[in-house]
Amino acid sequence: MLLHLQTWQEVEEYLEQNQGIIIPIGSTEQHGPTGLIGTDAICAEVIAKGVGEATGALVAPTVNIGMALHHLAFPGSISLQPTTLIQVTQDTVSSLAAAGFQRFFFINGHGGNIATLKAAFSQTYAHLANLKLPHADQVRCNVANWFMCREVYQLAKELYGEEEGSHATPSEVAVTQFVYPEAIKSAFLDKEVASGHPIYSAEDFRRHYPDGRMGSNPGLATPEHGKQLYQVAVKALSEQYLKFLDR
Amino acid sequence: MLLHLQTWQEVEEYLEQNQGIIIPIGSTEQHGPTGLIGTDAICAEVIAKGVGEATGALVAPTVNIGMALHHLAFPGSISLQPTTLIQVTQDTVSSLAAAGFQRFFFINGHGGNIATLKAAFSQTYAHLANLKLPHADQVRCNVANWFMCREVYQLAKELYGEEEGSHATPSEVAVTQFVYPEAIKSAFLDKEVASGHPIYSAEDFRRHYPDGRMGSNPGLATPEHGKQLYQVAVKALSEQYLKFLDR
Amino acid sequence: MLLHLQTWQEVEEYLEQNQGIIIPIGSTEQHGPTGLIGTDAICAEVIAKGVGEATGALVAPTVNIGMALHHLAFPGSISLQPTTLIQVTQDTVSSLAAAGFQRFFFINGHGGNIATLKAAFSQTYAHLANLKLPHADQVRCNVANWFMCREVYQLAKELYGEEEGSHATPSEVAVTQFVYPEAIKSAFLDKEVASGHPIYSAEDFRRHYPDGRMGSNPGLATPEHGKQLYQVAVKALSEQYLKFLDR
Amino acid sequence: MLLHLQTWQEVEEYLEQNQGIIIPIGSTEQHGPTGLIGTDAICAEVIAKGVGEATGALVAPTVNIGMALHHLAFPGSISLQPTTLIQVTQDTVSSLAAAGFQRFFFINGHGGNIATLKAAFSQTYAHLANLKLPHADQVRCNVANWFMCREVYQLAKELYGEEEGSHATPSEVAVTQFVYPEAIKSAFLDKEVASGHPIYSAEDFRRHYPDGRMGSNPGLATPEHGKQLYQVAVKALSEQYLKFLDR
Amino acid sequence: MLLHLQTWQEVEEYLEQNQGIIIPIGSTEQHGPTGLIGTDAICAEVIAKGVGEATGALVAPTVNIGMALHHLAFPGSISLQPTTLIQVTQDTVSSLAAAGFQRFFFINGHGGNIATLKAAFSQTYAHLANLKLPHADQVRCNVANWFMCREVYQLAKELYGEEEGSHATPSEVAVTQFVYPEAIKSAFLDKEVASGHPIYSAEDFRRHYPDGRMGSNPGLATPEHGKQLYQVAVKALSEQYLKFLDR
Amino acid sequence: MLLHLQTWQEVEEYLEQNQGIIIPIGSTEQHGPTGLIGTDAICAEVIAKGVGEATGALVAPTVNIGMALHHLAFPGSISLQPTTLIQVTQDTVSSLAAAGFQRFFFINGHGGNIATLKAAFSQTYAHLANLKLPHADQVRCNVANWFMCREVYQLAKELYGEEEGSHATPSEVAVTQFVYPEAIKSAFLDKEVASGHPIYSAEDFRRHYPDGRMGSNPGLATPEHGKQLYQVAVKALSEQYLKFLDR
Ligand code: NI
Ligand code: NI
Ligand code: NI
Ligand code: NI
Ligand code: NI
Ligand code: NI
């Protein structure tokens, strides 16, 4: 169930049975010479929809822009500052918690969002307690990174081994190829690809990762892989979501 | 051209010819007994894509959550605070302006966003000047409300007369029916519908507009109307965008 | 009744009868070669006092500095950032609402304040609800722009036609001449005056409007016009205020 | 010279000779049974104007609302939060410093503003340095409290001795009587008046100072005293201002 | 009793008897050629511990970084912005007030913290009232500057006369020599030392005070003086603290 | 070398050879019935000093209060909000980076700080780039959690096995016993100890972890263990620091 395709009265009925909601969050940032700028949002959104179908959960609209300050030296990248994303998260969760939602399951497509989301959850719990919202103490948030599910990780390793890398990976590119086969890109991909340098400033990132990839070979991606990865992720996250609801 | 389906190198090439970008912005809020919660975002997104196709402009991902504090007494509504939306807008425009974009054309689906967006534009111009960004003085933002285009307004009046109302209108509902025919809703719509009360707090809003509609009869909407409204809006906004680019 | 000339006990008595208050808000910004930097605050203040006399309403001290970032390339201009003005508005309304005021009628002299004030009102309603202030849901704010009253607008058109323009207008200059006849200025006013360019950054504004005027001929202003405009504005806004109280 | 009665071109000429400006700042808060709510702003404004006349300095519009959180339990009081007043001060000084002003002499009528203003000055210097404003290192701010001038203090002690007290003092009430003789109030003033309790929260303040006075007997005030105090303050602050300019 | 050496259950017991707590606050900033960068924190901490021992009060961990923006042109100095320190103070007091603490006695080692702390206290009282914390109206904060105690000041004048100066003073240096005899420094101290210039920006400060001292001769400091000053400060502040508790 | 025991001139000399600095960061929060409230700060500080001695690095004063919102239901706990800690971190790093420091090695004693610190680093890199600080692109921050070093983890597992748990662990308690043998506590420790519940709000935390421990048996701690753990941590982090400097 997609929240944006419901009426408020349908949401009211849903809440009588269920206080969980899934919030896909991605990023809008460079993904190397062949990766789409929307990769992280596309993956999070499609997988969240799949989990929503599998579990009957309501799925909120996708947060398309995340914390990607380190990618800003590449054109087309957009980032919120961490404090902005904290405020966006708090406003979002607070709006829904006031209506009765209690379980917020963020399906995340971007490693750079994790730290800020966790900080945001802490700040939001305290904010809701300060507001004396009834059941503030029942509100729980969780960030579930599809690419870090054990099953997804294993499949990626099987398919790509070391060439999976850590940004602009063949696995995330494959999922976007599965979703948007009409937007499969080809471009020169140097066999030599930088890796292992930690992430600091945007300028430093571009200096160390000149084409945007971090140790990955996205040339290995296929739409068929994407479908497999999608299915594995939906299955794993559906189980996680149901457990989260029951906790 | 959808930004999320481009690579960073394609954006780099685009910027050599063109410094304009379209940013759809909607809201996630109640739209009466038959209107979708995502109505404003759905309309802004589909029209922005149409304008992008008609003009060759790059279209950024949709800002799905806007300033809808007055709708928060209806479940499923989500709102940013105005200061949060100002920061989101500033972060977004600043990211893109640093890469060379200079014309930001927000296609907006929600009246409640207008004031905050205008405030955000002012703050952002000053921020970019403070940063001493080259060409900061060339950055221009514009909010184009599809439902306020003269041609759209005339068509809505022709189709619905006084029953157009001002929230959960048949015209916006019609556009969503055109986009998502599978999500056409039916529900009891009282002939008596409140109107004319200004917007104050969320609680006051719900007290005065108990089913969420403001003077509208969305029961008149059809997918065919939606298509017509869509086409008229795309045509009108494409012209506006091209003029904006040339200014 | 001017708030600053009352004691707290007089305010306490007032509140037993009446929960309305008028807040004049202007700006401190260039108004062309002959317009006073305080024009917007002077007009808002004198008209607010007139409305206070006509209706018995309490009138708060004038907010002298508003949102005028686009005028900052002209010396003597001062501006708050939008987020600062939002906070000022929220702090002001919250202070008074805690004491029992419920109707906040901002008499505004500056177009640049409107968007930010509207954003501030939204944020303030939510803030008061979060505080669980008794009667938070009864708090209502309204921005009444004296220069946009139908009757004022008609008189200005009669007196000045197209030469009214949109900034440093003869009508606002006339009101200041009526209030401060000792400060009537004369300076060269080019017959050619720029108009029609939207407002973006401060630097862009000065480039397009080199002497600060937007399509206006303030040389037509007279103190007598100012008196007429003042009277028409007071009459119109007094009626608006009384209606606002009763809503 | 009052800034609000100048044109921008007159300010431009002023700046060629002089980089100083006076900013009156008051408060809007209870001043006991007979003191005006605007006392602090009225005193600061009239004295600032006097200093402006005596020294040829430009005088900015009065900041009418200050930091008076501890008075909020009395109706009619309005307060900014300290962080809001810091932002207001920074925005104001930054606007003027960008135009070339370098000496900011705040004439202050309210003890409660002092700490926040000093904090604001520190933050503003750093902000201007961060902006790399030319001559940022020449910007200097000073808060001059008229009631703390040695000469004023001595006169107050002569006139009122211990009955001067520390809030709603006869000396500040006298100055307002001099300025607004038509607004002289009479009310019961208990001979017993609380004093000596430090300032904490608003509720605590009202509990300890039930009629709002702190150890004062404003019944001693006369307009003639007000004139004397005004003259002494103008003389003392004019000298301070001229020294400040030359530093 | 040092808070960091207690368990939460010991704190719970303490609170049954006593709602007071001492919070040492210093700064990390240049203190001239022979003064330690930690001088203000070292002094505040050791004296706070002494007061804790003398009175049985709980002593919180030291706030090591304060508001020292004007020292930032000297390497090794660290400063919070005033708005940051306000937030740190509010978060700290709010955490402890929620647990039942009501008397917050800040023992302060740095003049530059005073204004910001006072602003923070005001903001915090209002914040706690907004939260509707039980006993919010009982919360009281106080900043006690060890170097401004009458007895300390007298001893410093006796020992050093005019050479005490106002920054990098022999008295504060002496206290650090008493605490860290192993870190006594020697360096060239020009007999000529600047004094009397007010504090503005960091760059201005260094220009006027090139070696960091303000009118002081820290060469006079000895560990024995430090011990005396320490003892006098502990005695004076212990009395102040006990009075503060009883108010 | 402890920063607080240096003069600014000694720091200036240090910077000619070395641009690295170590910043210990802990927390002030409950650590179960026998753990000290200062445990995380004590551990971070002592280990940071050890690393400073082993590597010749400068060590900044300890950040004693961290992000511990989830512990606030236990008295004595103090927490910054995440946005406050972000600002503290940004102010701290910016102060030092302006003086020439480029490598910021945070030795962290509290898991709850990690997410916020990472968010803060991202925001700070962007802030420094916005300031156009020379060498902004060379600034690098790292959070090194002593308890997560492989060697420390292995030793803890050897010593305590499953009874290490994840909060109020015997290993961190042992380190505090080594540092403060005079503050070794004894209290009833239930054999049954909760574990495995994720961290949400403060109220939820206390409900699930009633005595504050998370799966740990701190009764196993000894000062001798503490010494071993300290030595292993210093060795491991010294190597990490030196590698970080060289990167
Ligand atoms: Ni990705
Ligand atoms: Ni709509
Ligand atoms: Ni105007
Ligand atoms: Ni006063
Ligand atoms: Ni000091
Ligand atoms: Ni710990």
> Would you call B140 and C115 a contact, using CB atoms and an 8 Å cutoff?
no
Question: Which residues in C lie closer than 8 A to residue B141 (C-beta atoms)?
Answer: 200
Average pLDDT across chain B, whole number: 98
> Would you call F125 and A69 a contact, using CB atoms and an 8 Å cutoff?
yes
Q: Cα of E225 to ligand 5 centre, how many Å?
A: 16
E145-185 tens-digit pLDDT: 999 999 999 999 999 999 999 999 999 999 999 999 999 99
Our CA angle for D231, D237, D241, nearest 5°, is: 145
Q: Cα of A33 to ligand 1 centre, how many Å?
A: 13
Count of pairs with CB atoms under 8 A, one residue in C, one in D: 180
One-letter amino acid identity for A56?
A: G
3-state secondary structure of E178: helix
Query: Chain B interface, mutation test: which of A3, A6, A9, A104, most B Cβ atoms within 10 Å?
Result: A9
3-state secondary structure of F142: strand
CA distances (Å), origin A215, targets A160, A162, A212: 12, 8, 10
| Closest CB from F116, F119, F125 relative to A201 | F125
Q: Cα of A119 to ligand 1 centre, how many Å?
A: 21
pLDDT surpasses 80 at B81: yes
> Would you call A141 and F200 a contact, using CB atoms and an 8 Å cutoff?
yes
Q: Cα of F225 to ligand 3 centre, how many Å?
A: 74
Mean pLDDT, to the nearest integer, of A140-156? Answer: 98
Measured in Å, how far apart are chain B's first and last C-alpha atoms? 22
Distance CA F35, CA F27 (A): 13
The number of the ligand nearest the C-alpha atom of F176 reads: 6
| Closest CB from A120, A122, A200 relative to F70 | A122
3-state secondary structure of F38: coil
Distance CA E67, CA F62 (A): 16
> Would you call D112 and E122 a contact, using CB atoms and an 8 Å cutoff?
yes
Distance CA F106, CA F118 (A): 11
The number of the ligand nearest the C-alpha atom of B173 reads: 2
Mean pLDDT, to the nearest integer, of A202-207? Answer: 98
Phi, psi angle pair for F210, to nearest 5°: -65, -25
> Would you call A7 and B33 a contact, using CB atoms and an 8 Å cutoff?
yes
Question: Which residues in E lie closer than 8 A to residue D128 (C-beta atoms)?
Answer: 201
**Does pTM top 0.95 for this prediction?**
yes
Domains of chain E: 3-244 (3.40.50.10310)
The two three-digit tokens of residue C151, written as one number:
């009757």
| Closest CB from F116, F139, F204 relative to A137 | F204
The whole-number pLDDT of residue D246 equals: 87
**What is the length of chain C?**
247
Count of pairs with CB atoms under 8 A, one residue in B, one in C: 113
Distance CA A233, CA C57 (A): 64
Mean pLDDT, to the nearest integer, of E73-80? Answer: 98
The two three-digit tokens of residue B36, written as one number:
């979708």
Q: Cα of B28 to ligand 2 centre, how many Å?
A: 9
Q: Cα of E233 to ligand 4 centre, how many Å?
A: 34
Distance CA A181, CA E140 (A): 65
Select from A152, A174, A172 the least CA-distant residue to A223: A174
pLDDT surpasses 80 at D38: yes
The band of F171, judged by pLDDT with boundaries at 50, 70 and 90, is very high
Q: Where are the alpha helices (DSSP H) in E56-149?
A: 82-99, 114-130
pLDDT surpasses 80 at C219: yes
Q: Are C172 and C43 in contact (CB under 8 A)?
A: yes
Please state, as a whole number, how many other Cβ atoms lie within 10 Å of the Cβ of residue E186.
Answer: 8
C34-89 tens-digit pLDDT: 999 999 999 999 999 999 999 999 999 999 999 999 999 999 999 999 999 999 99
C115-174 tens-digit pLDDT: 999 999 999 999 999 999 999 999 999 999 999 999 999 999 999 999 999 999 999 999
Chains near D (3 or more Cβ pairs under 8 Å)? C, E
Query: Chain E interface, mutation test: which of F12, F69, F95, most E Cβ atoms within 10 Å?
Result: F95
One-letter amino acid identity for B192?
A: E
Give the minimum alpha-carbon distance from C20 to chain D in angstroms, rounded to a whole number.
12
> Would you call D92 and C65 a contact, using CB atoms and an 8 Å cutoff?
yes
Annotate B64-81 with DSSP letters as a single string: -----GGGTTSTT-B---
Distance CA B86, CA A154 (A): 42
The whole-number pLDDT of residue E13 equals: 98
Q: Are C87 and C117 in contact (CB under 8 A)?
A: no
The whole-number pLDDT of residue A174 equals: 98
The number of the ligand nearest the C-alpha atom of C28 reads: 3
The whole-number pLDDT of residue C216 equals: 98
Cβ contacts of E182 within 8 Å, gap of 6 or more: none
Distance CA D161, CA D155 (A): 9
Instruction: Enter the DSSP assignment of F209.
Output: S
The band of F57, judged by pLDDT with boundaries at 50, 70 and 90, is very high
Distance CA A168, CA A216 (A): 6
Question: Which residues in A lie closer than 8 A to residue F108 (C-beta atoms)?
Answer: none
Buried b (16+ CB within 10 A) or exposed e, F126-135: bbbbbbebee
Mean pLDDT, to the nearest integer, of A171-186? Answer: 98
Chains near E (3 or more Cβ pairs under 8 Å)? D, F
F61-76 tens-digit pLDDT: 999 999 999 999 999 9
The two three-digit tokens of residue D77, written as one number:
């009081």
> Would you call D88 and C91 a contact, using CB atoms and an 8 Å cutoff?
no
The whole-number pLDDT of residue A233 equals: 98
* Residue with token string 């309790």: D197
D141-162 tens-digit pLDDT: 999 999 999 999 999 999 999 9
The whole-number pLDDT of residue F246 equals: 87
For B176, name the nearest residue in chain A, comparing CA atoms only. Answer: A5
The whole-number pLDDT of residue B246 equals: 87
Environment class of E133 (CB within 10 Å of its CB; exposed 0-12, middle 13-18, buried 19+) = middle
* Residue with token string 């597992």: F157
Mean pLDDT, to the nearest integer, of F112-123? Answer: 98
* Residue with token string 């970032």: C69
By percentage, how much of chain F surpasses pLDDT 90? 99
The whole-number pLDDT of residue A246 equals: 87
pLDDT surpasses 80 at E1: yes
Handedness of CA E71, E74, E79, E81 (dihedral sign): positive
CA distances (Å), origin C118, targets A132, B88, B116, B118: 27, 18, 8, 10
> Would you call C119 and B116 a contact, using CB atoms and an 8 Å cutoff?
yes
Mean pLDDT, to the nearest integer, of F25-43? Answer: 98
The whole-number pLDDT of residue A57 equals: 98
One-letter amino acid identity for B138?
A: Q
* Residue with token string 């501890």: D70
Mean pLDDT, to the nearest integer, of B217-221? Answer: 98
The two three-digit tokens of residue F73, written as one number:
């239901």
Give the minimum alpha-carbon distance from C193 to chain B in angstroms, rounded to a whole number.
18
Q: Are D18 and D204 in contact (CB under 8 A)?
A: no
Q: Are B82 and C123 in contact (CB under 8 A)?
A: yes
ipTM for the assembly = 0.98
* Residue with token string 């108009």: C195
The whole-number pLDDT of residue D141 equals: 98
E51-63 tens-digit pLDDT: 999 999 999 999 9
Phi, psi angle pair for B195, to nearest 5°: -160, 165
E132-148 tens-digit pLDDT: 999 999 999 999 999 99
pLDDT surpasses 90 at E247: no
Query: Chain C interface, mutation test: which of B118, B203, B245, B246, most C Cβ atoms within 10 Å?
Result: B118
Average pLDDT across chain E, whole number: 98
